[in-house]
Amino acid sequence: MIANEICIPVDLASLVAMARAHLYSLFDDQLPLVTKSPSSPALARVNVTLRTVGNIRGSMSSKGGTLIEQVLDAVFKASRDHRFSGSIVRADLEKVSIEVWLQLSSELISLEEREASEPIRLGQEGVKVEQGTAFAYYKPSVAITSNFSTAQELFGGVCKKAGLPQDAWKDSSCILRKTTWIHLCETPHREVTQMAALRPASNLFSITTDNLVEWVRGCTSYLKWNQHIDGSFCHRYRPLANETRKGSTNPVRASGCVYAIAAAASSAFLDSDADIKRCADHAADAILRRLTQLKNGSYFVADSVGGQSGKLGTSALYLLALLTPALREKYAHEADELLAAIKTSQSSDGFFECVFGGQESGSSQINFFPG
């Protein structure tokens, strides 16, 4: 049961079920779903968002006469929304996920408050702007999915959406309001959960050994199926936009991924899986190509193939990976060489130089000590 902290005389989960039933009826050429609910008055705004594989396929709102009418009208409009990758088709019905957003209230943001550090709670409150005939609004999630880091950036974005100058929010004639919403979202199993800042609003899972093992399996599966041909991993993925961010690979994170998959391949809690072991070997070999020799004969992991410097954290995490049961025997020699290099980087005070083959490290590089 989803908590209904406001007095909406309708079971919130049933709104999402109703939205799905209506979506199906639109494709089956049935009469529109009609529900008499005189006790459920219209809210300020209702938005229905349709997604497939995380991508938005339609997102429309309705003001309607009653709450039910708002939901049904928003479904109808969202199913015909062509702004994204084309409106949904019948083949999408089984894989489409439905979100229902209910706007509960809005509050004026005064001119003085707009310049404050936190005039709204980013990700938890939305914003809408009005000036003359221009109007636009953002749901709370936009601050997260569009990477707005400050409220003022968000205000500029919503003004631009309304066709106004991006700094129009600074004008006293511009009406700016923060809005509160309930966000209902379908899970992959067609259950309904209430979200806050794109996370479940309540703890849906108990922390048990079985659940932890299931999460580890999911993370291991992600690494296994997102490994490049050279053994590296796709670890700059934006799931909300379903895109991979391009750019150089962070060497410390790369070694961390090898450590993670090697630990999974060594875990007694996971079922024996030859694919995981192959994935770990392939990942270890990818880092192995970066091994560079120091003057004392030991080796460290350089930041790139053929590079002459490398971070301590990269070598330390890679060493941990090679010491796991899954990799220990095959890479025993390399582990010994890395350990020798790390030992030589320790100063008399117990701390470490954080860069191999480069300039001495400063205080700003202390973040590599834990690695």
Q: Specify whether 158 is located in the same domain as 300.
A: no
Query: Which residue, of 84, 104, 124, is where some domain finishes?
Result: 104
Q: Which residues are bridge partners to 175 per DSSP?
A: 130
Q: Specify whether 93 is located in the same domain as 118.
A: no
Q: Specify whether 92 is located in the same domain as 116.
A: no
Q: Specify whether 221 is located in the same domain as 347.
A: yes
Tokens of 72: 């049904």
pLDDT for res 304: 84
Q: Specify whether 95 is located in the same domain as 175.
A: no
* pTM beyond cutoff 0.85: no
Closest CA to 26 of 48, 53, 6, 44: 48
Radius of gyration of the chain (CA): 27
pLDDT at 5 over 80: no
**Residue 54 pLDDT level (bands cut at 50, 70, 90):** confident
Instruction: Tally Cβ neighbours within 10 Å of residue 259.
Output: 24
Query: Which residue, of 63, 79, 104, is where some domain finishes?
Result: 104
CATH code, domain with 17:
3.30.700.20
Total domain count, the chain: 3
Q: Which range of residues forms the domain containing residue 35?
A: 1-104
CATH code, domain with 128:
3.30.1490.150
**Residue 270 pLDDT level (bands cut at 50, 70, 90):** confident
Q: Specify whether 238 is located in the same domain as 94.
A: no
Residue pair 195/181 in contact by the 8 Å Cβ criterion: no
Torsion angle defined by CA atoms of residues 294, 261, 235 and 214, in that order, rounded to the nearest 10 degrees? -160
Long-range Cβ pairs for the range 274-280 (8 Å, 24+): 275/224, 276/220, 276/224, 277/326, 279/223, 279/224, 279/227, 280/321, 280/326, 280/327
In a domain, 192, yes or no: no
Which of 5-19, 138-152, 177-191 comes out lowest in average pLDDT? 5-19
Q: Specify whether 135 is located in the same domain as 275.
A: no
In a domain, 58, yes or no: yes
Q: Residue range 107-135: average pLDDT?
A: 94
Q: Specify whether 214 is located in the same domain as 73.
A: no
Q: Specify whether 248 is located in the same domain as 359.
A: yes
> Is 122 or 64 the better-scoring residue by pLDDT?
122
Query: Which residue, of 55, 87, 104, is where some domain finishes?
Result: 104
In a domain, 197, yes or no: no
**Residue 307 pLDDT level (bands cut at 50, 70, 90):** confident
pLDDT for res 3: 45
CATH code, domain with 293:
1.50.10.10
pLDDT for res 105: 92
Q: Give the C-alpha separation, 79 to 71, whole Å.
A: 12
Q: Specify whether 135 is located in the same domain as 265.
A: no
Q: Specify whether 324 is located in the same domain as 359.
A: yes
Q: Which helix (H) or strand (E) holds 68?
A: helix 67-78
Q: Specify whether 217 is located in the same domain as 134.
A: no
